[in-house]
Amino acid sequence: MAAILSIRDLRKVYSGGFTALKGVSLDIEEGEILALLGPNGAGKTTLISTVCGITTATSGSVAVGGFDNVSHFRNARALIGLVPQEITLEPFTKVLDTVTFSRGLFGKPADPALVEEVLRKLSLWEKRDSRIMDLSGGMKRRVLIAKALAHEPRILFLDEPTAGVDVELRKDMWEIVRELKAGGVTIILTTHYIEEAEAIADRVGVITGGELLLVEEKEQLMARMGQKQLEVQLTAPVGVIPASLSQHNLQLVNGGGALLYTYDARAERTGITTLLNDVAQAGLVLADVQTRESSLEDIFVGLVSGGPASKGAAAGDAA
Amino acid sequence: MNWTAVATIYKAEMARFWRTFLQSFISPVLSTSLYFVVFGSAIGSRIQEVDGVEYGAFIVPGLVMLSVITQSISNASFGIYFPKFIGNIYEILSAPINFLEVVAGFVGAAATKSLFIGTVILCTASLFVDLSVQHPLAMVAFLVLTCLSFSLMGFIIGIWAGNFEQLQLVPLLVVTPLVFLGGSFYSISMLPPVWQAITLFNPVVYLVSGFRWAFFGQADVPVLLSLCAIGGFTLACMGVIWWIFKTGWRIRA
């Protein structure tokens, strides 16, 4: 599939001198859901704002559906819907009015039937004549989504859509995102919540300090998550791993006091039985056995802390 | 031009006007009526004619200008400052529209509101005094241009303002004194020669003078100069707004 959004070496230095984006390049394919994970201040919102035209890039380029977002901003922006992180709605307007406004602002002819459909999909139709100030926080968030959908975007940016949202609403949001994807909308969402990325994303990008550390298929990352480690503690330390155990790809840790075995917990055969048999046959005596799991969270934390272990952590062999 | 977007912004801004009807409409009408009662009737009855015009009628153009200028600035500055304050300006910045369309929507609505208010004040005034308009076309032109140019200025103030205090600062500290000292309630020929010269640096003098000429056929400064002044001011404001959107000053990081 062709990239619907193509970001090339995007840099953003704010007037205060702060570098929010340090040359981000990213291609997003039509119809996929990409989750951008990153800590606060990683540059997620700046990235979205720059693509949408709210902030201007210092250098680099953004093409939306093949249109440069500066020289052909009308074509480019018409394709994009943005749901901001903060609830930014005029308190005195009514739900139906503000959603209709968004459609008109993007130059689309009035289409009450479509607006109704959007509001119904977001369970807002009953609230259409309510003023924004009378809605709950969750409802306001839905209104923000409705506004973005009212002009039928091909790409939807959701900036932390579930921050501070209760579990039920979060599940609802995920359902809405899946439905949109089914309708062919490309979705880019930023989140702190790794479980959110796991639940709905096709690909996951990790961003920190203005740099995109990795972008990968979620399934591959999940495979890493599936990796577990077995630590076999020995009664007596050994200097080297016995040759008879070489086929198991072990690591010697704790000054030779333990063997570390990394395996795929989701595989049909984990190889644990064979390993333990071979350990016993090699004449080693087991003091204790421990397993631990490297989660996506570990991978994420390892990546964003930026230490030398980060690549290793990404490979799942250091917990 | 994305006319759908312009109309959308315009309608939304006008909707605010109707929503805050009391504040937007009745209060200027009431305060103008009070001016008439105090200046026109109470004090005005003791003042002779000014330039051959009854004082009550003489102050009408100045009063309309005062209200229209104040209203234009406050409507337009609030109109653009409010989305900045709330944060929903993101929608305008990310929409497929250019600065001309944004300005046309916001300033067009603000100018319409003040034009409406100006007209209502004129109607109110005609209840108090006998009004004749010698040059109706010029009157409309001055009124429309004033609404437009000061709405543009208000738009600039709204973008510049970082808080509600600053939003009030320019109207309060600059515009109100300029309007009061711009011959709204007197003919500048009544001033000592030195002040007559100094007053000519006040741009509002040209507006009030031109507008008054449209009513009574008498002006403090040549009417063409008045027209040039208001035209030049409109263009200058447009230039500043063009620069604001080009550089993103205070709106686009």
Q: Give tens-digit pLDDT for A160-211.
A: 888 777 788 888 888 889 999 999 999 999 987 777 888 889 999 989 899 9
A303 pLDDT exceeds 90?
Answer: no
pLDDT of residue A239: 86
CB B190 within 8 A of CB B180: no
Distance CA(B182)–CA(A269), nearest Å, equals 92
Q: Give the closest-approach CA distance of A220 to chain B in angstroms.
A: 34
**CA gyration radius for chain A?**
25
Q: What is the pLDDT of residue B183?
A: 86
Q: Quick one: three-class SS letters along A151-170?
A: CCCCEEEEECCCCCCCHHHH
What is the C-alpha to C-alpha distance for residues B154 and B168, in angstroms, rounded to an integer? 10
pLDDT band (50, 70, 90) for residue A306: low
| CA–CA distance, B183 with B179 (Å, rounded to integer) | 7
Residue A307 has pLDDT above 90, yes or no: no
Percent of chain A with pLDDT over 90: 51
> Using the beta-carbon criterion (under 8 Å), do A107 and B2 form an inter-chain contact?
yes
- Tell me the CA end-to-end span of chain B in Å, nearest whole number: 25
User: Which of B8, B9, B96 is nearest residue A78 as measured by Cβ atoms?
Assistant: B96
Residue A293 above 80 pLDDT? no
Contact A228, A262 (CB under 8 A): yes
Cα–chain center distance at B125 = 18
Whether A112 shows a pLDDT value over 90: the answer reads yes
Task: Give B90's contacts in chain A (Cβ within 8 Å).
Answer: 49, 52, 54, 82, 84, 88
pLDDT at B14: 94
What mean pLDDT, rounded, does chain A reach?
87
Residue type at B65 in one-letter notation: M
pLDDT tens, A204-228? 998 989 999 889 898 887 676 667 7
What ipTM goes with this model?
A: 0.89
Q: What six digits make up the tokens of B158?
A: 């709204």
pLDDT (mean) for A40-55: 92
User: Does B21 contact A at CB distance below 8 Å?
Assistant: no
Phi and psi torsions of A277, nearest 5° = -60, -45
Q: Which chain A residue's Cα is nearest to B93? A: A54
Statement: residue A319 has pLDDT above 60: no
Helical segments of B136-252, H only: 136-160, 164-170, 176-180, 193-199, 203-216, 223-247
Question: Which residue in A has a C-alpha nearest to residue B96's C-alpha?
Answer: A74
For chains A and B, count residue pairs whose Cβ atoms are closer than 8 Å: 81
Q: Where are the beta strands (DSSP E) in A183-250?
A: 186-191, 203-208, 211-217, 227-234
Give the B window 148-207 contacts with A, CB below 8 Å.
none
Is residue B252 less than 8 Å (CB to CB) from chain A? yes
- Residues of chain B with Cβ-Cβ distance to A86 below 8 Å are 87
Q: Would you give per-residue pLDDT tens digits along chain B (253 residues)?
A: 899 999 999 999 999 888 888 777 787 778 878 888 887 777 777 777 887 788 888 888 998 999 999 999 999 999 999 999 999 999 999 999 998 999 999 999 999 999 999 998 898 888 888 888 999 999 999 999 999 999 999 999 999 999 999 999 888 888 888 988 888 888 888 888 888 888 888 889 999 999 999 999 988 889 999 999 999 999 999 999 999 988 888 888 7
| B16, HSE (Cβ side, Cα atoms, 13 Å) | 21
CB-CB under 8 Å, A15 with B253: yes
- CB-based contact, B88 to chain A, within 8 Å: yes
CB B174 within 8 A of CB B204: no
Question: Tens digits of per-residue pLDDT, A60-74?
Answer: 999 999 999 999 999
